[in-house]
Amino acid sequence: MPDRKSTRRTVVIGNWKMHQTGAGGAALAAAIVAGLRPGRAEIAVAPPFTALTAVADAIRGSSIALAGQDVFHEPEGAFTGAVSAPMLAAAGCSLVLVGHSERRHVFGDDDEDVRRKARSVLDAGMRPVVCVGETLEQRDAGQAENVVREQLEATVHGLSDAELAPLAVAYEPVWAIGTGRTATPDTAEAMHRVIRASLASLAGSGTAERTPILYGGSVKGDNAAAILSGANVDGLLVGGASLRADSFLDICHAAG
Ligand code: PGA
Protein backbone atom coordinates (compact mmCIF):
# COMPACT_ATOMS: atom_id res chain seq x y z
CA MET A 1 0.00 0.00 0.00
CA PRO A 2 1.51 3.38 -0.93
CA ASP A 3 2.35 5.84 1.79
CA ARG A 4 -0.77 8.00 1.83
CA LYS A 5 1.17 11.08 2.84
CA SER A 6 3.25 10.85 -0.32
CA THR A 7 0.10 11.44 -2.36
CA ARG A 8 -0.44 14.85 -0.74
CA ARG A 9 1.88 17.68 -1.66
CA THR A 10 3.45 19.51 1.29
CA VAL A 11 2.23 23.11 1.56
CA VAL A 12 4.04 25.93 3.40
CA ILE A 13 2.32 29.30 3.72
CA GLY A 14 3.88 32.43 5.19
CA ASN A 15 1.15 34.54 6.82
CA TRP A 16 2.53 38.07 7.08
CA LYS A 17 -0.49 39.31 9.03
CA MET A 18 -0.53 43.13 9.34
CA HIS A 19 3.12 43.54 8.34
CA GLN A 20 4.75 44.92 5.20
CA THR A 21 3.90 47.68 2.77
CA GLY A 22 3.98 47.10 -0.98
CA ALA A 23 7.65 48.05 -1.23
CA GLY A 24 8.73 46.08 1.84
CA GLY A 25 6.65 43.10 0.80
CA ALA A 26 8.11 43.09 -2.70
CA ALA A 27 11.64 43.13 -1.24
CA LEU A 28 10.84 40.27 1.15
CA ALA A 29 9.22 38.25 -1.63
CA ALA A 30 12.19 38.87 -3.95
CA ALA A 31 14.58 37.61 -1.25
CA ILE A 32 12.47 34.47 -0.82
CA VAL A 33 12.41 33.88 -4.59
CA ALA A 34 16.19 34.34 -4.74
CA GLY A 35 16.91 31.97 -1.85
CA LEU A 36 14.37 29.21 -2.49
CA ARG A 37 15.92 25.93 -3.60
CA PRO A 38 13.78 23.79 -5.90
CA GLY A 39 11.79 21.26 -3.89
CA ARG A 40 8.62 19.28 -3.76
CA ALA A 41 6.75 21.57 -1.36
CA GLU A 42 4.23 24.13 -2.54
CA ILE A 43 5.24 27.52 -1.08
CA ALA A 44 2.93 30.52 -0.71
CA VAL A 45 3.02 33.93 0.93
CA ALA A 46 0.00 35.82 2.30
CA PRO A 47 0.71 39.57 2.37
CA PRO A 48 -1.79 42.21 3.49
CA PHE A 49 -4.26 43.27 0.78
CA THR A 50 -2.39 46.50 0.01
CA ALA A 51 0.81 44.58 -0.81
CA LEU A 52 -0.76 41.85 -2.98
CA THR A 53 -0.09 43.48 -6.33
CA ALA A 54 3.51 44.39 -5.54
CA VAL A 55 4.19 40.88 -4.20
CA ALA A 56 2.46 39.32 -7.22
CA ASP A 57 4.93 41.21 -9.43
CA ALA A 58 7.88 40.11 -7.29
CA ILE A 59 7.01 36.39 -7.45
CA ARG A 60 5.95 36.32 -11.11
CA GLY A 61 7.73 33.51 -12.95
CA SER A 62 8.71 31.76 -9.69
CA SER A 63 7.09 28.70 -8.11
CA ILE A 64 5.78 30.75 -5.19
CA ALA A 65 2.01 31.21 -4.91
CA LEU A 66 0.06 34.16 -3.57
CA ALA A 67 -2.51 33.84 -0.78
CA GLY A 68 -5.09 36.19 0.70
CA GLN A 69 -5.31 36.46 4.48
CA ASP A 70 -9.09 36.83 4.57
CA VAL A 71 -12.05 37.59 2.32
CA PHE A 72 -15.64 38.84 2.48
CA HIS A 73 -18.15 36.34 1.14
CA GLU A 74 -20.11 38.61 -1.23
CA PRO A 75 -18.62 38.96 -4.74
CA GLU A 76 -19.21 42.73 -4.94
CA GLY A 77 -21.46 45.48 -3.65
CA ALA A 78 -21.89 48.16 -1.00
CA PHE A 79 -19.60 46.59 1.63
CA THR A 80 -17.21 49.33 2.65
CA GLY A 81 -13.79 48.09 3.57
CA ALA A 82 -14.33 44.57 2.27
CA VAL A 83 -12.41 42.60 -0.37
CA SER A 84 -14.07 39.79 -2.32
CA ALA A 85 -12.85 36.44 -3.60
CA PRO A 86 -13.03 37.48 -7.29
CA MET A 87 -10.88 40.53 -6.39
CA LEU A 88 -8.30 38.31 -4.72
CA ALA A 89 -8.27 35.95 -7.71
CA ALA A 90 -7.78 38.91 -10.06
CA ALA A 91 -4.88 40.10 -7.87
CA GLY A 92 -3.16 36.75 -8.45
CA CYS A 93 -4.17 34.75 -5.38
CA SER A 94 -4.67 31.02 -5.67
CA LEU A 95 -5.22 30.41 -1.94
CA VAL A 96 -7.11 32.31 0.77
CA LEU A 97 -6.98 31.81 4.53
CA VAL A 98 -10.41 31.70 6.16
CA GLY A 99 -11.25 31.47 9.84
CA HIS A 100 -7.78 32.34 11.11
CA SER A 101 -7.96 32.54 14.91
CA GLU A 102 -7.23 36.28 14.82
CA ARG A 103 -10.24 36.72 12.54
CA ARG A 104 -12.34 34.59 14.88
CA HIS A 105 -11.12 36.13 18.14
CA VAL A 106 -10.25 39.75 17.26
CA PHE A 107 -12.81 40.40 14.52
CA GLY A 108 -15.59 38.08 15.65
CA ASP A 109 -15.85 35.78 12.62
CA ASP A 110 -18.11 32.89 13.54
CA ASP A 111 -18.50 29.46 11.96
CA GLU A 112 -21.19 30.72 9.58
CA ASP A 113 -18.90 33.53 8.38
CA VAL A 114 -16.14 31.00 7.84
CA ARG A 115 -18.47 28.71 5.88
CA ARG A 116 -19.61 31.53 3.59
CA LYS A 117 -16.06 32.75 3.08
CA ALA A 118 -14.81 29.26 2.21
CA ARG A 119 -17.67 28.85 -0.26
CA SER A 120 -16.90 32.20 -1.93
CA VAL A 121 -13.25 31.21 -2.30
CA LEU A 122 -14.24 27.90 -3.92
CA ASP A 123 -16.71 29.68 -6.21
CA ALA A 124 -13.90 31.99 -7.36
CA GLY A 125 -11.74 28.97 -8.27
CA MET A 126 -9.24 29.28 -5.43
CA ARG A 127 -8.25 27.04 -2.55
CA PRO A 128 -9.63 27.93 0.89
CA VAL A 129 -7.28 27.21 3.78
CA VAL A 130 -9.76 26.74 6.62
CA CYS A 131 -8.15 27.40 9.99
CA VAL A 132 -9.40 25.57 13.07
CA GLY A 133 -8.06 25.35 16.60
CA GLU A 134 -8.94 25.34 20.27
CA THR A 135 -8.10 27.86 22.99
CA LEU A 136 -6.08 26.90 26.04
CA GLU A 137 -9.23 26.86 28.19
CA GLN A 138 -10.91 24.49 25.75
CA ARG A 139 -7.85 22.23 25.68
CA ASP A 140 -7.58 22.18 29.48
CA ALA A 141 -11.27 21.30 29.67
CA GLY A 142 -10.68 18.31 27.37
CA GLN A 143 -12.69 19.88 24.53
CA ALA A 144 -9.97 20.30 21.90
CA GLU A 145 -11.15 17.48 19.64
CA ASN A 146 -14.81 18.52 19.80
CA VAL A 147 -13.98 22.15 19.08
CA VAL A 148 -12.05 21.43 15.89
CA ARG A 149 -14.60 18.86 14.76
CA GLU A 150 -17.43 21.38 15.18
CA GLN A 151 -15.49 24.16 13.41
CA LEU A 152 -14.82 21.79 10.54
CA GLU A 153 -18.36 20.50 10.38
CA ALA A 154 -19.78 24.03 10.22
CA THR A 155 -17.46 24.83 7.33
CA VAL A 156 -17.87 21.80 5.08
CA HIS A 157 -21.59 21.39 5.76
CA GLY A 158 -23.56 21.30 2.49
CA LEU A 159 -20.51 21.03 0.23
CA SER A 160 -20.01 17.93 -1.91
CA ASP A 161 -16.86 15.85 -2.22
CA ALA A 162 -16.27 17.38 -5.67
CA GLU A 163 -16.80 20.93 -4.43
CA LEU A 164 -14.35 20.30 -1.60
CA ALA A 165 -11.56 19.08 -3.90
CA PRO A 166 -9.42 22.25 -3.48
CA LEU A 167 -9.88 22.40 0.32
CA ALA A 168 -6.93 22.72 2.69
CA VAL A 169 -7.20 22.82 6.48
CA ALA A 170 -4.82 24.41 8.98
CA TYR A 171 -4.79 23.23 12.59
CA GLU A 172 -3.72 26.21 14.66
CA PRO A 173 -4.09 25.79 18.41
CA VAL A 174 -4.81 29.31 19.64
CA TRP A 175 -2.41 28.82 22.58
CA ALA A 176 0.48 28.23 20.19
CA ILE A 177 0.01 31.24 17.90
CA GLY A 178 2.63 33.93 18.42
CA THR A 179 3.41 32.56 21.89
CA GLY A 180 6.59 30.63 21.21
CA ARG A 181 4.74 27.61 22.63
CA THR A 182 4.55 24.99 19.88
CA ALA A 183 2.42 21.87 20.00
CA THR A 184 4.67 18.84 20.32
CA PRO A 185 4.90 16.75 17.16
CA ASP A 186 2.80 14.07 18.92
CA THR A 187 0.07 16.54 19.89
CA ALA A 188 -0.01 18.00 16.40
CA GLU A 189 -0.20 14.54 14.79
CA ALA A 190 -2.95 13.42 17.18
CA MET A 191 -5.07 16.48 16.32
CA HIS A 192 -4.39 16.10 12.61
CA ARG A 193 -5.61 12.49 12.84
CA VAL A 194 -8.81 13.74 14.48
CA ILE A 195 -9.25 16.32 11.71
CA ARG A 196 -8.74 13.73 8.98
CA ALA A 197 -11.19 11.33 10.62
CA SER A 198 -13.70 14.18 10.94
CA LEU A 199 -13.28 15.02 7.27
CA ALA A 200 -13.87 11.37 6.39
CA SER A 201 -17.14 11.23 8.34
CA LEU A 202 -18.32 14.68 7.20
CA ALA A 203 -17.27 14.73 3.57
CA GLY A 204 -16.14 11.22 2.62
CA SER A 205 -12.87 9.36 2.51
CA GLY A 206 -11.87 10.95 -0.82
CA THR A 207 -11.87 14.43 0.70
CA ALA A 208 -10.16 13.17 3.85
CA GLU A 209 -7.30 11.49 2.03
CA ARG A 210 -6.72 14.29 -0.43
CA THR A 211 -6.98 17.35 1.84
CA PRO A 212 -3.65 18.73 3.07
CA ILE A 213 -3.77 19.50 6.80
CA LEU A 214 -1.23 22.16 7.81
CA TYR A 215 -0.01 22.89 11.32
CA GLY A 216 0.42 26.48 12.54
CA GLY A 217 1.63 28.01 15.79
CA SER A 218 5.17 29.14 16.57
CA VAL A 219 6.75 27.14 13.75
CA LYS A 220 10.47 27.89 13.34
CA GLY A 221 13.32 26.50 11.29
CA ASP A 222 14.43 24.30 14.17
CA ASN A 223 11.06 22.63 14.86
CA ALA A 224 9.62 22.44 11.32
CA ALA A 225 11.03 19.05 10.36
CA ALA A 226 9.92 17.37 13.61
CA ILE A 227 6.37 18.69 13.26
CA LEU A 228 6.23 17.65 9.60
CA SER A 229 7.28 14.10 10.49
CA GLY A 230 3.70 13.30 11.56
CA ALA A 231 1.95 11.06 9.02
CA ASN A 232 -1.01 13.45 8.90
CA VAL A 233 0.92 16.71 8.97
CA ASP A 234 1.04 17.91 5.37
CA GLY A 235 2.39 21.40 5.73
CA LEU A 236 2.89 24.49 7.83
CA LEU A 237 1.23 27.87 8.29
CA VAL A 238 3.93 30.21 9.52
CA GLY A 239 3.40 33.63 11.07
CA GLY A 240 6.31 35.40 12.79
CA ALA A 241 9.05 33.32 11.20
CA SER A 242 7.77 34.15 7.71
CA LEU A 243 8.63 37.85 8.09
CA ARG A 244 12.32 37.28 7.40
CA ALA A 245 13.54 35.56 4.25
CA ASP A 246 16.21 33.51 6.03
CA SER A 247 13.93 32.03 8.69
CA PHE A 248 11.12 31.37 6.19
CA LEU A 249 13.54 29.72 3.77
CA ASP A 250 14.84 27.45 6.55
CA ILE A 251 11.26 26.24 7.07
CA CYS A 252 10.61 25.84 3.33
CA HIS A 253 13.77 23.80 2.94
CA ALA A 254 12.87 21.64 5.96
CA ALA A 255 9.64 20.85 4.09
CA GLY A 256 11.64 19.36 1.23
P1 PGA B 1 3.02 32.26 14.49
O2 PGA B 1 1.61 32.47 13.75
O3 PGA B 1 3.86 31.40 13.59
O4 PGA B 1 3.57 33.65 14.66
O5 PGA B 1 2.72 31.59 15.80
C6 PGA B 1 0.98 31.42 13.07
C7 PGA B 1 -0.31 31.89 12.46
O8 PGA B 1 -1.04 32.65 13.10
O9 PGA B 1 -0.64 31.53 11.33
For the chain, 256 residues long, give each residue's pLDDT as a single digit of tens: 345 676 899 999 999 999 999 999 999 999 999 999 999 999 999 999 999 999 999 999 999 999 999 999 999 999 999 999 999 999 999 999 999 999 999 999 999 999 999 999 999 999 999 999 999 999 999 999 999 999 999 999 888 888 999 999 999 999 988 888 888 999 999 999 999 999 999 998 999 999 999 999 999 999 999 999 999 999 999 999 999 999 999 999 999 8
Whether 133 is in the pocket of ligand 1, judged by its Cβ within 6 Å, is no
Whether 240 is in the pocket of ligand 1, judged by its Cβ within 6 Å, is yes
- CA–CA separation, 22 and 54 (whole Å): 5
Which runs of consecutive H residues, i.e. helices, occur in the chain? 22-35, 52-59, 85-90, 101-105, 111-123, 136-140, 144-156, 185-203, 205-210, 224-228, 245-254
- CA–CA separation, 229 and 116 (whole Å): 33
pLDDT value at residue 4: 61
Cα-based distances in Å from 149 to 2, 59, 82: 27, 36, 29
pLDDT value at residue 160: 87
Q: For residue 20, how many other CB atoms are within 10 A of its CB? A: 21
Instruction: Report the separation in Å between the CA atom of 145 and the middle of ligand 1, taken as the mean of its atom positions.
Output: 20
Instruction: Report the separation in Å between the CA atom of 199 and the middle of ligand 1, taken as the mean of its atom positions.
Output: 23
Q: Which residue from 138, 135, 122, 59 is spatially nearest to 88, judged by alpha carbons?
A: 122
Q: Whose CA is nearest to atom 3 of ligand 1?
A: 239
Q: Whose CA is nearest to atom 6 of ligand 1?
A: 239
